[in-house]
Structure 1
Amino acid sequence: MYVAENERYERMEYHRVGRSGLKFPAVSLGFWHNFGSKDSYDNMRAMCRTAFDHGITQFDLANNYGPENGSAEENLGRLLEDDFRPYRDELLITTKAGYHMWEGPYGDYGSRKYLMASLDASLRRMKLDYVDIFYHHRMDKNTPLEETLTALVDIVRSGKALYVGVSNYDKEYTEKAVHFLREQHCPVIVNQRRYSIFDRTIEEDGVKSFCKENGVGIIAFSPLAQGLLSDRYLHGIPKDSRIAQDGRFLHSSDLTEGRLSQISKLNELAGQRGQTLAQMALSWVLKDDEVCSVLIGASKPEQIIENISAARHGKFTQEELEQIEEICKG
């Protein structure tokens, strides 16, 4: 029988999510990859135990994570039954809906019908009565935003989610969503967006500044740029890498000579800081208060332990930040 480490909460920093009463662990575990029907359950179990033993309280899912669709949620349900049911009140379980889930016109995007049906199915798969946060996973410009947001309001009022968030929303949609939901007294507390040293879109489109000014937290996904911000590709493409095995979200064409030079220089700087490149990349995303957590993916427990240390590392000097900016310009 699994018994969690007594000192788990001494191993992690926790950050308040915007102006809410909720706190996120600085590092959260995402189930996007390596938790599907084709993956090893024993490895999933080892990763989740390692994560929780080191203070990671947030497990982040979506209805379509797998493959196959829904299988990551099914595996979480099994993990809860086998190990984590006694710790449910210590965990943040989040899920999302917005991308393709089933055939026909009601299986994706942002209609009330889709969101309500999707969350009910997610709860059944995870064997839960509620999730802590339910996200709309992407903007849908063909559905009235008020319809999508009213569904989120009613989901909270039904008790099936404690908070709501948005994911992949730009500034215009984030602003409209936050204002509408707060007028309805619905606890919208977080925007989940891609953010890394190599991807500054949330700075460029104004989402980061809006969230800071309006008390909305940001949780960053792909903080390692799908593995580019690690030492994994410094000497070629490993056979077990995401590029070699998948190729949907990261391609060999992304590894240009210029990009490899940047990775090499950043890796050198990380070494000077006493970090791996992956640790430095996570530290960089966490350097600003509005980013309350980074979502990591992992294929083995050791990666989780390595990444957690980024949250405890010292701050950047101004010179180091300037070096990173100079490298990224090259």
Structure 2
Amino acid sequence: MYKADDKRYDNMLYRWSGKSGLKLPLISLGLWHNFGGIDSYEKGRELIRTAFDSGITHFDLANNYGPPAGSAEEMFGRLLQSDLAPYRDELLISTKAGYYMWPGPYGEWGSKKSLTASIDQSLRRMNLDYVDIFYHHRPDPNTPLEETMSALDGIVRQGKALYVGLSNYKPEETRQASRILKALGTPCLIHQPSYSMLNRTIEAGLLDVLEEEGIGSIVFAPLQHGILSDRYLNGIAADSRAAGPSPFLKPQDISEERLEKVRRLTDLANARGQKLAQMALAWVLRRGRVTSALIGASKISHIEDAVEAVSGLEFSEEELAAIDSILA
């Protein structure tokens, strides 16, 4: 019988999400990879329990996570029943809809029909009455924004979600969506964009919009799919994501020029007493503009290293300038 670690909140830090009353852990665990039907349930169980024992209260899913699609939610629902049911009120569980999930005109995007069907399916897969955060996963160019935001508002009013969020929305789309949601009475809690030392596009407007609108942020791919770690310093391993079918990381993304920058960043991290992955997480969390960094994990050490990173968030101006110089 699983019993959570009594010291689980001793080393994690938490931040308010925008102007809401909700705090998120600085490190959140995403179930995008390694928690699907093709993966080991016992391994996933060990990773999730380790995360919760380390103070990671937020678990991020989506309707299409797996593979196969939906299986990550099913796995998490099974674990909720067997291990985490006594701790439901300590957990933040989020899911999303918007990418392709089932055939026909309603299995993706952002219509009220699609989002309503998707949240109902997700709740059944996880055997939950509600999720804490429900996201629209990507903007829909063919559905009026008012309809999509009205659907999110309705899902909260029906008690199927406590908060709503956006993902992959550009700055002006985010501003418009936020103002519609405020007028409806369901403010946007959080935005989930991609952000890392190698991908800084959200600095060109989105972070400013989030601060103006009082919206928190949880950034995915803070390690740039493993490039900002020691994973590829000695080449592409046969069991790595770059050697597999992932559409998000290809061998050409790991050029010798990029690896040389990673080696220099590694030296800087070591001088700070951190691993490169820890410095990369600390960097996205610096100065408090980002609420939480969303990690993936295939090993217990990935979670342990990420949790340890929260104790080293301070950077000198010289260190920040050195990072900018290396990446220029």
Same fold, TM-score > 0.5, yes or no: yes
Does the CA contact (< 8 Å) of 2:25 and 2:58 recur in 1? yes
* In 2, Cα distance between equivalents of 1:181 and 1:105: 25
Following superposition, the deviation at residue 161 of structure 1 comes to 0.3
Instruction: Report the secondary structure of 2:65's partner residue.
Output: coil
Deviations 1:71-101 (A, max 9, x none): 0000000000110000000000000000000
Q: 1:89-108 maps to which residues of 2 (within 5 A)?
A: 89-108=89-108
> Aligned-pair distance for 1:153?
0.6
Q: Assess if the C-alpha contact under 8 Å between 1:266 and 1:277 holds in 2.
A: yes
CA–CA distance in 1 between the matches of 2:263 and 2:289?
Answer: 29
Compute the displacement of 1:273 (Å): 0.4
Distance 1:104 1:288 in 2: 45
Q: What residue in structure 2 maps to residue 7 of structure 1?
A: 7
Where does residue 310 of structure 1 map in the other structure?
Answer: 309
TM-score under structure 2 length normalisation = 0.99
Kindly state the Cα deviation for residue 314 of structure 1 after the two structures are TM-superposed: 4.2
SS in 2 for 1:234: coil
Aligned counterparts of 1:105 and 1:111: Cα–Cα separation in 2: 10
Greater Cα shift, 210-219 or 1-10: 210-219
Alpha-carbon distance in structure 2 between the residues aligned to 1:297 and 1:314: 20
Q: CA RMSD in A?
A: 0.8
Alignment of 1:282 onto 2:281:
yes
2:83 paired residue number: 83
1:238-277 mapped onto 2 (5 Å cutoff): 238-277=237-276
Instruction: Spell out, residue by residue over 1:221-252, the C-alpha distance to the aligned partner (whole angstroms, 9 max, x if none).
Output: 00000000001101100111111123311000
Counterpart-to-counterpart distance in 2, 1:290 and 1:86: 33
Please give the secondary structure, in 1, of the residue aligned with 2:163.
strand
Question: Secondary structure of the residue that 1:287 maps to in structure 2?
Answer: helix
Q: Which moved more, 1:317-326 or 1:209-218?
A: 209-218
Structure 1 match to 2:35:
35
Structure 2 distance, partners of 1:42, 1:80, is: 13
Is 2:311 the partner of 1:322?
Answer: no
Asked whether the equivalents of residues 283 and 313 of structure 2 are also in contact (C-alpha less than 8 Å), the reply is no
List, as ranges, runs of 4+ consecutive aligned residues in structure 1 with deviation greater than 4 Å: none
Distance in 1 separating the partners of 2:280 and 2:159: 37
CA distance in 2, matches of 1:314, 1:117: 41
CA contact (8 A) 1:18 1:290 kept: no
Matched, 1:218 2:217: yes
Hey, what's the Cα distance between the residues in 2 that align with 1:156 and 1:145?
A: 17
2:160 corresponds to 1:189: no
Separation in structure 2 between the aligned mates of residue 323 and residue 288 of structure 1, nearest angstrom: 17
CA-to-aligned-CA distance 1:186-245 (integer Å, 9 cap, x gap): 0311000000000011112x1111112221101000000000000110110011111112
Q: C-alpha distance in 2, partners of 1:178/1:249? A: 29
Q: Quick one: distance in 2 between partners of 1:311 and 1:267?
A: 18
Distance in structure 2 (CA, Å) of the matches to 1:237 and 1:183:
50
SS of match in other structure, 2:266: helix
Q: CA deviation at 1:105?
A: 1.0
Residue 298 in structure 1 maps to residue 297 in structure 2 = yes
Residue in structure 1 matched with residue 69 of structure 2 by the alignment: 69
Counterpart residue type for residue 309 of structure 1: E
Preserved contact between residue 95 and residue 134 of structure 1 (Cα < 8 Å):
yes
Work out the number of aligned pairs and report it.
328
**Paired-residue identity, %:** 57
1:111-122 alignment, distance < 5 Å: 111-122=111-122
Q: Which moved more, 1:180-189 or 1:88-97?
A: 180-189
- The unaligned stretches of length 5 or more in structure 1 are none
Residue type of the partner of 1:251?
A: K
- Give the aligned residue type for 1:58: H
